[in-house]
Structure 1
Amino acid sequence: MCGFITFFSNSSLDDNSKDKLEVMLNSLKHRGPDEKGVYHDDKVFLGFCRLSIIDLENGKQPFSYDYNNYHIVFNGEIYNHVELRESLIKEGYTFSTKSEVEVILTLYKHYDEEFVKHLRGMFSIVIWDKLNQRLIAVRDQFGIKPLFYTENENGIYCTSESKSLLQSNIVNNKVDLHSLHDYLSFQFVPEPKTMLENIHILEPGCMLKKESNSDLKISRYASLRFSPEVKKIDERKSSIRKVLEDSVEAHMISDVPVATFLSGGIDSTIITALAKKINPKIKTFTVGFEVNGYSEIDLAQETASELNVENINITVSSEDFIKELPNVIFHMDNPIADPSTIPLYFVCQEASKHVKVVLSGEGSDELFGGYGIYHEPLSLNFFSYIPNAIKKSLKLGSSLIPEGVKGKSFIERGCTPLEERYLGNAKIFSQKEKAYFLKNYIKNFSPQLITQPLFSKVSGLDPVTQMQYIDINTWLKGDILAKADRMSMAHSLEIRVPFLDKEVFKVASKLTLSDKINRNTTKYLLRETFRDELPQSVVTRKKLGYPVPIRHWLKDELYEWAIDLVKEDVVYKYIDKEYIIKLINQHRKGKIDYSRKIWTILTFIIWYKIFIKD
């Protein structure tokens, strides 16, 4: 895992530009503390910070190939690079290293732009094709690894973290108002935008291409599509087991030790159980809080004991939480108001003291149907028998019911079509609320502008699969994978995610609704596949997912801190502070839980103080 900064100049690359780019590269040192490398010619600068994991001696970057016709920087892992090397040798190519980068450039020489379709792994790659005066940048189809870019009159910049672009005033630090509106809906900024104007992120499965004297072009090379088909359960279970065993084995390939994160849930337990077959002495890491009901440490220890693996765990206090929060948000680059970012930061910090690589369970919920909200279509099925006219009246009547009254949300959701109500796992502020406290409210800019085009692509599928598709294309890449990358890289740690593998997705994409959800459980077939070799308590356990006690802390330990932060009024241009203070006080009274709304605002304020500073 590494970090890079690249620049393709519209003119000759001068010494002043090189110096600025060196400064930008140094801001990414936490992503790759082991080694730094630079390549430049009269048009291009490639800078790289390396975290050495595979081919420690010969995997240096930038890597040059074929008499300096091709050059590369690459962040990620290619899990089929050995097989690819063997196939290329049969084509007559020779190799001087065991590194993935040599395989990638050889693929590029052989297949041209089609090279990326042969890669199995997580990656963001930039190739300077000097022979054809062409810059190519690609990102893996899930968006596991980031690739930010910006273009100005000088040329185009690509980087692993957007903060590097602020180091030398490459871009201004102006908030994008549309992004702010989306952030307040989703708790993150949906890709390809970021919170800052003029900085974008290349979407998963896409290729960016820039040639001399030509405009920047972005095209899609891969899409994730669900195609459910009915199969016998035993056949399906066999496919799930085989592909996950294969994926974990591939993700364990490393020249340095590999560990796992272990919570009390089924995803991390499956990964750990399969990894233990490969390395019986594997270490596991867990994090929890000093609040009853908000710690998975006991469950993880119980699971570790049954699996007979070592478990290293840490407990985070409210004081630890608030002390490290600015560092967490700094490393996030963009504001993400997911409280679980903080425990992830701490468990990565602890794991980095022992290993360089950790396996984690991200992606299982989106692929196999694991979120509790996926039960919603079943619970609301009753409303499908009610005529639309009556549903319209019921919805109108529910608007008169005070917020927090039992039944209000159930009626509203049941009377609202899925494509109008579902934004993903997090739905923070409504349009009505944003209109009330946002000083630059944009009336016709709704979150459905993000979700409606996605719904249109899966309109013929069942509601749960539609929800999965929305989450994969918003929540997964914008929240789950973003926080995993940034929090691990903050501590020079590589997180690998075996569920998010192209071969695993091929199997998961064919599951039917009954394979995923029934009235009793989520991820039904995944649980059944591993029922016989996992602790029974894990198989039947509901998802927890790094529970964070901000609801309690904002009423007590963090109350004064939150009020003082809002009163600083640093975001007065955008938000009515009196409304937010009122929200905090109402939350403290305990009638309604406003913690996620409050946390979304507090995160934005801290981010603004760090990155905008006006």
Structure 2
Amino acid sequence: MCGICGFSGHANDGLLDQMGNAIRHRGPDGLGCYSDGRMNLCSRRLSIVDPVSGGQPVENEDSTVFAVWNGEIYNYRSLITELKGKGHLFSSDHSDSELIVHLYEEYGIRFVEKLNGMFAIALWDRNKECLYLIRDRMGVKPLFYYYNGTEIVFASEIKSILLHPSYPKKINANALYSYFSFQAVSSPETAFWDIYALRPGTILTFAASGKKLTRYFAPSFSPVSKDSLPTAIEKIRFLLKDAVKLRLDADVEIGTFLSGGLDSGIVTTLASSLADHPLRSYCLEHESRRPGAFYQKEKDTANAARTANACHTIHTTAPMTASDMISELDTVIRCFDQPFAASASTWFLSGRAHSDVKAVLSGDGADELFGSYPLQQLAFPMQYFSQMKANGLSPADMDPTLLVPFSDRSDFLANLYDYSGGSEVRLSYRMLNMTDDEKALFLSDEVFGELISKKQTLLQLREIFSSLSGADVLNRSLEYFQTSFLPDQVLSYTDALSMAHGLEIRSPFLDCRLVDYVNSLPGSYKIRNGETKYLLKQAAKGLLPDDIIFQKKEGFIPPIHDWLRTELKEFVTDTLSPSAILRYPFLKADAVQFLLHKYYRDPTGNDYLADIIWNLVCFARWCELYV
């Protein structure tokens, strides 16, 4: 696991060191550089596999191919055996770094299709004078680049690119506009003009002829598997267990994140059964000054302790308070270099874990694979409701079993139908943090007027949904989440906030074999009779107690809604004061003040307004740090 950066053109050792040191937190164990007057590569190393001889950059025998990369190749042992059988010589017996250049020699750039892992790779072929930038299938590891027509600059984090003298620093209003809807910037754009995120499953080729992007992987939901439900459950158990086993392979101690829920509980249980020594597990407890206010997380904390006791892990519960959120928010935002309003929990938990271990297993990806979010819960009920409305039936005439879990909330479904007309795009649009019309209330016309008038976010969603391949409404929703929400939010914050502490997170649910298989299954297996993640819950039977398997999902998020009305109130009103907002041209100060007044005047609170307020708070802090 590492951080990487580099640029084309003449050697500049000072600049290369400076860019590398900007991401030292990603790889505190070593610095490695390469320059030949045409390409410059740098790696900051976090040594987890082959600490002695697994350094970077790596090169082939005749020094014509060089690579720096960030990530882990979990099937590296079988690939090394395969290449040795073809005559390749390795200086190390188990380096997944050295593997990359030999795979390229043997198979060319399509070698990436043989990898099971998480990775961001920069590979330089001196003979071809060609640089390849490659990102893993699901987008676990980040990679950003700037290209001006002649030069290319790349890095694991934007902050390194900002140091390069060729980059003319400029804010990207298009990207900022998407942030207010998605709580994160939508890739491939970033908050900085002409700096792009390489999309998951993509190869960028840079040569004298210019730049080319090639997609080598996209989540596929067709053809649909004909496996029976019991067969699917057994296959998922096998694939998940093997995915956990592969991710326990390391030369350093590995722990687990254990929230107390289903996903991390399965991973911890399987990992403990496969490990030859007690593992360490880590749980985050969100504290509040308000008596009894743990945001309904007491049960999760207790269940994490139960699972840890059953698995005989060395368990640690780390506290997080509202004051921690205030003191660390700027640091968290700097981890991303972009405005970001999603969960910061990983920052605090990683900070505790990294003092003991260099890597942890987590349950990331299970929700996006098996179906858990409100939009997925609505998929089948809204489809049925829309069909019945089109046939002239009233809610009273409908089969309530087909509306589960909304059987007693037909008014809620009716309101959504009135807004969306049964359209998947319009329904997804309504579930965003802010629509175009809502953004028109708070964003300045000076900067965002054209985007608002074009309803840019609605157009963006239509473009995304037009490319989806899922055969049923639930699988299309999952495909949408896997290609946008997962890489742009979940994996983005997981990587940035853990690597800021030099901690690697490994996600068994994102094993490419498991992803491909689960995506091939019909949506009716994933949410069944209103039960979310039905397939995974069935696979978990015998591993976890039923009350943990079937408990209501709480989510790995801090209680921002709770804190906004109490401990965070003064911080919020100061951050969004008229004088603070008017320092930058992005927001309408009077509209933001009206929003705060409306929210704090309501004694019961309003979660929808709270989300918008926190979104604006994080944006205002980003402006202070970067604009």
TM-score calculated relative to the size of structure 2:
0.90
Residue identity in the other structure for 1:306 = A
Q: Is the 8 A contact 2:221 2:470 kept in 1?
A: no
Indicate which of 490, 505, 509 corresponds to 1:495. 505
Indicate which of 83, 91, 94 corresponds to 1:96. 91
Change in CA separation of 1:386 and 1:34 when aligned onto 2, cut-off 3 Å? same
Residue identity in the other structure for 1:20 = L
Change in CA separation of 1:153 and 1:458 when aligned onto 2, cut-off 3 Å? closer
What residue number does 1:395 align with? none
Residue identity in the other structure for 2:615 = T
| Cα shift at 1:389 | 9.6
Distance 2:464 2:164 in 1: 37
Q: Does 1:217 align with 2:217?
A: no
SS in 1 for 2:456: coil
Indicate which of 139, 153, 161 corresponds to 1:143. 139
Could you report, residue by residue, the CA deviation over 1:454-497 in whole angstroms, capped at 9, with x for unpaired residues?
32233662111111011011100000000000000110000011
SS in 1 for 2:284: strand
What residue number does 1:108 align with? 104
Q: Is the 8 A contact 1:141 1:204 kept in 2?
A: yes
What residue number does 1:378 align with? 380
Q: Is the 8 A contact 2:56 2:68 kept in 1?
A: yes
| Cα shift at 1:219 | 0.7
Q: Does 1:34 align with 2:29?
A: yes
| Cα shift at 1:55 | 0.6
What residue number does 1:77 align with? 72
SS in 2 for 1:511: coil
| Range with greater deviation from structure 2 (70-79 or 221-230) | 221-230
What residue number does 1:361 align with? 363
| Range with greater deviation from structure 2 (434-443 or 585-594) | 585-594
Distance 1:362 1:497 in 2: 6
What residue number does 1:569 align with? 581
SS in 1 for 2:529: coil
Structure 1 unpaired stretches of 5+:
392-405
Change in CA separation of 1:28 and 1:425 when aligned onto 2, cut-off 3 Å? farther
SS in 2 for 1:447: helix
Residue identity in the other structure for 1:434 = K
Query: Mapping of 1:396-545 within 5 angstroms?
Result: 410-415=413-418, 416=420, 417-423=422-428, 427-439=432-444, 440-441=448-449, 442=451, 443-458=453-468, 461-545=471-555
| Range with greater deviation from structure 2 (346-355 or 272-281) | 272-281
Query: Mapping of 1:526-605 within 5 angstroms?
Result: 526-567=536-577, 568-569=580-581, 572-590=584-602, 592-593=606-607, 594-605=609-620
Change in CA separation of 1:424 and 1:542 when aligned onto 2, cut-off 3 Å? farther
Indicate which of 305, 310, 326 corresponds to 1:306. 310
Residue identity in the other structure for 2:612 = K
Change in CA separation of 1:3 and 1:72 when aligned onto 2, cut-off 3 Å? same
Residue identity in the other structure for 1:28 = I
Distance 2:19 2:431 in 1: 33
Residue identity in the other structure for 1:215 = G
Residue identity in the other structure for 1:243 = L
| Cα shift at 1:501 | 1.0
SS in 2 for 1:135: strand
SS in 1 for 2:70: strand
Q: Is the 8 A contact 1:294 1:547 kept in 2?
A: no
Residue identity in the other structure for 1:455 = F
What residue number does 1:3 align with? 3
| Range with greater deviation from structure 2 (411-420 or 123-132) | 411-420
| Cα shift at 1:161 | 0.2
| Cα shift at 1:388 | 8.6
Residue identity in the other structure for 2:514 = V
Q: Is the 8 A contact 2:255 2:361 kept in 1?
A: yes
Residue identity in the other structure for 1:3 = G
Q: Does 1:284 align with 2:276?
A: no
What residue number does 2:339 align with? 335
What residue number does 2:390 align with? 387
| Range with greater deviation from structure 2 (133-142 or 60-69) | 60-69
Could you report, residue by residue, the CA deviation over 1:382-426 in whole angstroms, capped at 9, with x for unpaired residues?
2321139999xxxxxxxxxxxxxx987643322313333244896
Q: Is the 8 A contact 1:5 1:158 kept in 2?
A: yes
What residue number does 1:351 align with? 353
What residue number does 1:241 align with? 237
| Cα shift at 1:520 | 4.0
| Cα shift at 1:19 | 1.9
Q: Does 1:315 align with 2:319?
A: yes
Could you report, residue by residue, the CA deviation over 1:194-221 in whole angstroms, capped at 9, with x for unpaired residues?
111111011011101111x211111111
Structure 2 unpaired stretches of 5+:
288-292, 395-408
Q: Is the 8 A contact 1:75 1:123 kept in 2?
A: yes
Change in CA separation of 1:154 and 1:210 when aligned onto 2, cut-off 3 Å? closer
Q: Is the 8 A contact 2:201 2:215 kept in 1?
A: yes
| Cα shift at 1:367 | 1.1
Q: Percent identity?
A: 33
Question: Over aligned residue pairs, what C-alpha RMSD do you find?
Answer: 2.0
Distance 1:298 1:585 in 2: 37
Distance 1:429 1:495 in 2: 31
Q: Is the 8 A contact 1:424 1:467 kept in 2?
A: no
What residue number does 2:328 align with? 324
Distance 1:362 1:426 in 2: 22
SS in 2 for 1:61: coil
| Cα shift at 1:158 | 1.2
| Cα shift at 1:171 | 2.5
Q: Is the 8 A contact 1:570 1:605 kept in 2?
A: no
Residue identity in the other structure for 2:25 = H
Q: Does 1:160 align with 2:156?
A: yes
SS in 2 for 1:532: coil
| Cα shift at 1:293 | 2.7
What residue number does 1:175 align with? 171
| Cα shift at 1:87 | 0.8
What residue number does 1:397 align with? none
Residue identity in the other structure for 1:282 = L
Distance 2:514 2:434 in 1: 35
| Cα shift at 1:153 | 5.8
Residue identity in the other structure for 1:59 = G
Q: Is the 8 A contact 2:143 2:197 kept in 1?
A: yes
Distance 1:425 1:284 in 2: 38
Residue identity in the other structure for 2:63 = N
SS in 2 for 1:607: helix
**Equivalent residue pairs, number:** 590
Distance 2:165 2:591 in 1: 34
Distance 2:169 2:414 in 1: 43
Distance 1:424 1:540 in 2: 29
Large movers: runs of 4+ above 4 Å:
388-391, 406-409
What residue number does 1:399 align with? none
Q: Is the 8 A contact 2:361 2:506 kept in 1?
A: yes
